[in-house]
């Protein structure tokens, strides 16, 4: 049986103990990270899922992303940016290539 405490770390909305390592849900403006902490920002290789208040990985084609896994701000090695979409999407190069550029 889980015991929930009324006094949590200031960044936690819900916790199982009164220390930051036991957060279950983060307060608004904070995201649960892989370090099991609630922090204001996710890593650049992650984006903040505002619904679940958790940091999630960018897609493998993105080196950096915002708002969703495939909304890339920088493409990973072996990927190139696709133009003309609302989001900045990166596509994988042909499997035989290490690097590539999309031809205009």
pLDDT in tens, 16-31: 765 546 788 889 999 9
pLDDT band with cut points at 50, 70 and 90 for residue 53: very high
Whether 65 is covered by a domain: the verdict is: no
Q: How far, in whole angstroms, is CA 58 from its chain's centroid?
A: 6
Whether 48 is covered by a domain: the verdict is: yes
Reported for 39-43, long-range contacts at CB under 8 A and 24+ positions apart, including other chains, are 39/11
Number of domains in the chain: 1
Whether 3 is covered by a domain: the verdict is: no
Whether 34 is covered by a domain: the verdict is: yes
Whether 95 is covered by a domain: the verdict is: no
What are the tens digits of pLDDT across the range 2-19?
A: 555 557 788 888 887 655
Q: State the pTM of this model.
A: 0.77
Q: Residue 19 belongs to what domain range? A: 12-57
8 A C-beta contact, residue 71 and residue 79:
no
Whether 83 is covered by a domain: the verdict is: no
pLDDT at site 6: 59
């Amino acid at each position: 049986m889980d015991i929930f405490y009324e006094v949590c770390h200031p960044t936690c909305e819900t916790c199982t103990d009164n220390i930051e390592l036991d957060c279950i849900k983060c307060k608004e403006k904070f995201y649960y990270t892989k370090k099991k902490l609630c922090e204001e920002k996710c890593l650049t290789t992650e984006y903040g899922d505002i619904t679940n208040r958790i940091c999630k990985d960018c897609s493998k084609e993105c080196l950096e992303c915002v708002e969703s896994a495939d909304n890339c701000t920088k493409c990973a090695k072996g990927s190139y940016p696709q133009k003309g979409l609302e989001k900045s999407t990166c596509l994988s190069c042909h499997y035989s290539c290490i690097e590539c550029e999309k031809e205009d």
